[in-house]
Structure 1
Amino acid sequence: MNIKTVIFDMDGVLIDSEPFWRQAQIEELSKYKVKITIDDCINYTMGRKLDDLADTWCRRFDLPISNIELQQNIMHSVISHIREQGQAKAGLYSLLNYLKKNNFNIGLATSSSVPVINAVLDHLSIRDFFTVICSADNEKYGKPHPDVYLSAMTQLKSNKEQCIIIEDSVTGMISGKAAAITTYVIPEDITDPKFSIADGIFTSLEEIEHYLINKAQPSVIANNV
């Protein structure tokens, strides 16, 4: 496989922001005396577009708030947390510098809305690494549909044989696989059987950089983690 293009998911891959999303959902729903757990967020909304996320809770609990209002409240909370506490995932800067130095095409394809994308890229000072930035907000269907990854690949003028995706969620992994693009994952729980369909399971971005440098077989890496 001659890899020339790397497309990143954002939340949980570039930045450790998944806890912010969960906290925002738990806090916002608690205002309406609805109690949800971290596991609920992981199982029902992780990796999904903001409007899908809000729709899930509005329908599930018949909330006395509009989808749009819930979206805005959650988004503002997440952005605030990113600006105050956001940290890059370990190995991010090393991997991005390696890719840029070796002339890889670098793209971003995320379920997050543009204001959240801007908050992350500006907070981490990594905007200039990405040639293409795609939000699923601009697609008819968000993840797990493949649209946002196909759009990013097309804009990067790449093809499925030269491209890999880096994801952290089951929803995102399914999106990448639906696009028929090689999809690697760095999940919170590497033993979760839901990730068995990934093309490679890694523990960190450092391990992915090691793989790209040494051209190790991802299946070997997956079996060793």
Structure 2
Amino acid sequence: MTIKYVIFDMDGVLVDSEPLWAESQIETLAQYGAVITEPDCEKYTRGLRVDELAVVWIKKFHLNIEPTLLRDEIVELVCRKIAEKAVPMDGIYPLLDFLKTKKIPTALATSSNRKVIKTVFDKLKLWDYFPIQCSAAEEELAKPHPAVYLSAIKALGATPADCLIIEDSVTGLIAAKAANVRTFIVNPKFADERFAIADERLPNLHEVLNILRQEL
């Protein structure tokens, strides 16, 4: 299969924001007497839409709070943290520049909402790389349903066979494969068997670039 388009997840792929999401959940929930850890966030909420992760914690700790309020508090805090200290994932700009030189169109397909997308793109100056930005917050069903990826494919005017998806989470991987798209997992824990359905499992974006240099 020839790669004609590349679709990127955002958190954990473009930006090193997963620790910031964990911090925001930990700090927000602490205000309601709920104690969680970063591994808890990895286990229960990584890759989920923020409205869904809010519901996860409310159910787990029987919190007397509206899901929309908890969602908004977490988003507000994570956006502040991203604006203050977010950094790009190692190797993302060389990869994006390579795709641009090869005239390979790119799109974003993220579980994050528009406010988080804007915060990340402003901080990392990503607007010129991604004319197409799709958010699962605007889909009826979130990842692991493939809806946001199918929307990105449609917006690109592509077919699944033309595309490559770059993901970092199990939830995102399931969504990408459900869209019938070749998928690379990029995660320091790439050898984890939960990622076994990925077409490639890689530790960082430099390895993605190495593969694409051979294929494009």
Q: CA deviation at 1:185?
A: 0.5
1:66 alignment partner AA: E
Partner of 2:115: 115
Partner of 1:9: 9
Are residue 29 (structure 1) and residue 17 (structure 2) matched?
no
Whether the 8 Å contact between 1:168 and 1:188 is mirrored in structure 2 is no
Unaligned ranges ≥5, structure 1:
217-225
SS of the residue aligned with 2:196?
helix
1:43-82 equivalences in 2 (<5 Å):
43-82=43-82
Structure 2: distance between partners of 1:14 and 1:52: 22
Q: CA deviation at 1:215?
A: 2.4
SS of the residue aligned with 1:185?
strand
Q: CA deviation at 1:20?
A: 0.5
2:7 alignment partner AA: I
Partner of 1:173: 173
Q: CA deviation at 1:131?
A: 2.5
SS of the residue aligned with 1:197?
coil
SS of the residue aligned with 1:23?
helix
Q: CA deviation at 1:29?
A: 1.0
Taking structure 1 as the reference length, what is the TM-score of the superposition? Answer: 0.94
Q: CA deviation at 1:30?
A: 1.0
1:71-220 equivalences in 2 (<5 Å):
71-215=71-215
35-44 or 86-95, larger mean C-alpha shift: 35-44
Q: Spell out, residue by residue over 1:52-84, the C-alpha distance to the aligned partner (whole angstroms, 9 max, x if none).
A: 111111122121211011011100111111111
Partner of 1:220: none
Whether the 8 Å contact between 2:111 and 2:136 is mirrored in structure 1 is yes
Whether the 8 Å contact between 1:131 and 1:156 is mirrored in structure 2 is no
SS of the residue aligned with 1:134?
strand
Whether the 8 Å contact between 1:47 and 1:111 is mirrored in structure 2 is yes
SS of the residue aligned with 2:121?
helix
Q: CA deviation at 1:213?
A: 0.7
Structure 2: distance between partners of 1:196 and 1:69: 36
What is the aligned-residue RMSD (CA, Å)?
Answer: 1.1
1:193 alignment partner AA: E
Runs of 4+ in 1 over 2 A off after TM superposition: none
2:84 alignment partner AA: E
6-15 or 32-41, larger mean C-alpha shift: 32-41
Structure 2: distance between partners of 1:194 and 1:3: 25
Whether the 8 Å contact between 2:191 and 2:201 is mirrored in structure 1 is no
Taking structure 2 as the reference length, what is the TM-score of the superposition? Answer: 0.97
Q: CA deviation at 1:188?
A: 3.0
1:4 alignment partner AA: K
Q: Spell out, residue by residue over 1:162-185, the C-alpha distance to the aligned partner (whole angstroms, 9 max, x if none).
A: 101000000000110111111111
SS of the residue aligned with 1:180?
coil
Unaligned ranges ≥5, structure 2:
none
Fraction of identical pairs, as percent: 44
Whether the 8 Å contact between 1:91 and 1:205 is mirrored in structure 2 is yes
1:94 alignment partner AA: P
Q: CA deviation at 1:191?
A: 2.3
